[in-house]
Chain A
Amino acid sequence: MRNLIALVYNELLKTVKKKRVLVVLLIIAVLIPVFTYAQYRTVQTTIQQMGTSDWRSILQQQIIDNQNRLSSNRMPEEWKKLVRLNIQQQQYYLDHDINPMAPGAPTFVRKFTEESISLFLPLLVVVVAADIVSSEHSAGTIKLLLTRPIRRWRILLSKYLALLLLVSLIVVATAILGTLLSGIIFGYGGWELPVFTGFQEINGEMITDQVHLVPQWQYILMSCGLAWFSCTAVATLSFMVSVVVRSTAAGMGIMLASLISGSLLTQAAPSWTALKYLAFTNLRLTDYLSGTPTMIEGMTLPFSLAVLSIWSLASLVVAFTVFVKRDVLA
């Protein structure tokens, strides 16, 4: 056991020394101010256009605008359903006098987590995960590593555990940096703000029986947990690719391409229901928390968790089998 801890620690150090983690943290630190400013601009433009900063008027206007979008003939039926559910949810917030977008660093982090769970966070994870095994091949250090008197599966396990730790680090760092940096503009208040959760969708109707309020800090904690699960699944798949494909660049390319097509496909063909069995269409776990309707019918939290877990387990089996059996040549 001590042996394994030492191995994991060793792997962690390697990634840090290789500056991969630093790069990822830098990306986060640069992009979050950009997003903060974008958000700030949007809010300012809305206030300017509406001539009021009263969120109730703004929300009411958004509801009407959404209703008007519904009357467009060119809009596909699936989108219309989404918009209709969205209207019902907005109306619910309005009826209960709760501002879903109260300004503040916590609101920013909550929205940012929801937006970044399907693409931004997974991309960062891929950057770290894609080279965790393959870089040993390209640097030639794999031979040194394997000549130690440790079984191969333990070496791979230690790499996997180190990867899980790094994924957690990335998610938490995003939340912390997001809070610190966006708070400069939006202020640090609003942790206790109530947020609705528990919206359910049945046959195109928003069911509000189980809707309840949670304080925003709890909501953020829960979304980060869900984001962590998505990222872990992405990390596991990248890990497998990293074992199988020995070139880091190719591995990263494969992962990026599949991630992006995963998120594009759901929007391009929401009626193609078989898509829901792919791993990368199930990444948006926070949607189940916020009640955002899913594009493809028949997706629930247990379903998405099951799909992600099955893909992850399969990847692990492939990764370990390949790594243990493979001939390592010069």
Chain B
Amino acid sequence: MRIKGNPTWIAFSLFSLFSLFFLIAGFGWAIKDILHPPSEGLSLKKPRQERGNSTETALLLTLGDSLTRGTGDPDGQGYAGRIKESLRKEHSRISAVNLAVKGQTSDQLKDQVRQPRVRRLLKEARWITLTIGGNDLFQNSGQSETIDRKQSEKARKRYQKNLKTILSVIRKENPDTPVFLFGLYNPFGDLGQKETSNQIVGEWNRTLTETTEKFDKVVVIPVFDLFQLNPQAYLYSDHFHPNQKGYQRMANRLLQAMEENSEEVSAGAR
């Protein structure tokens, strides 16, 4: 038992003792801070002006609903992921932000684009793509079987107003960036009452096109025809969202429209 006096052991013990006091102090401080938080509130410095990094990386901003999210695609990529990969081949530095929320309606998107953070991203974006309207259309018009014309008409008016607001906000934040808006398709084109459903989707698509005409550089990507003849082959098993092939077709369309556009953009201000 006579190892006493070895300086290493004494240092070790003292260090342990010191640790104990140190931690008890930290513990006490934590208790005090949680139970009696300082009352002076938080003094925050103003959020500093952030520098845009658009000169270095090109930002692809995708907004909208589950179609932009990629629901139904086993890879989880959707058209947004595919576009990103294609753009990456051409542009060395590209960043992508996907702000789409499953089940989002135009009402919710209207609120989303007004958030300060989203506005900042809109400002930085080099391309903006969005899908919106599917949920407005099919939630408010009842289930596929029973289409309520009156309800649908009301929803369409509302959609028109929201879409106008959304595009105005985007244009206000960023007057130059091309905006690609996907049209709507009819997932129920092979079911009963297909005349009615086709007619309604057609009306909505006309509304969509008319609304965008008032804005500069807003490109409508029609997809109605893609799912018209053989919906089974391009729709996911939920019979509502596109599947892998469907998304690939959407992405191809979008890429065609983008190519023309990117030349124009590169010849312009950037």
Contacts and interface: CB of A to CB of B under 8 A. Distances in A.
Nearest to B40: A212
Contacts of B120: 56
Task: Decide if the interface of chain A is mainly helix, strand, loop or mixed.
Answer: helix
B29 A222 contact: yes
B71 to A, nearest CB: 9
Given A64-B99, A168-B23, A289 B16 contact: no
Interface in A53-70: 54, 56-57, 60-61, 64, 67-68
A9 B101 CA distance: 61
A150 B251 CA distance: 83
A198 B27 CA distance: 16
Contacts of A155: none
Contacts of A301: 31, 34-35
Interface string A1-30: 000000001101100100000000000000
B53 A211 contact: no
A224 B37 contact: no
A165 B20 contact: yes
A217 B6 CA distance: 34
Interface string A189-218: 000000001100000000000111110001
A225 B121 contact: no
A51 B47 contact: no
Interface string B3-47: 110000100110111011011111111110111011011111001
Contacts of A12: 9, 12-13, 16
Contacts of B98: 61, 64
B174 interface: no
A67 B101 contact: yes
Contact of A52 (B13, B29, B53, B117): B53
Given A96-B47, A221-B25, A224-B23, A169 B16 contact: yes
Contact of B15 (A54, A67, A96, A169): A169
B103 to A, nearest CB: 5
Interface string B70-96: 000000000000001000100001111
Nearest to B69: A68
Given A50-B97, A301-B34, A212 B25 contact: no
Most-contacted residue by chain B among A52, A95, A97, A223 (CB, 10 A) = A52
B157 interface: no
11 contacts: A50-B95, A61-B97, A64-B100, A97-B47, A165-B20, A166-B16, A169-B19, A197-B33, A212-B38, A222-B29, A228-B24
A225 B34 CA distance: 13
A172 interface: yes
A94 interface: yes
Contacts of B35: 301-302
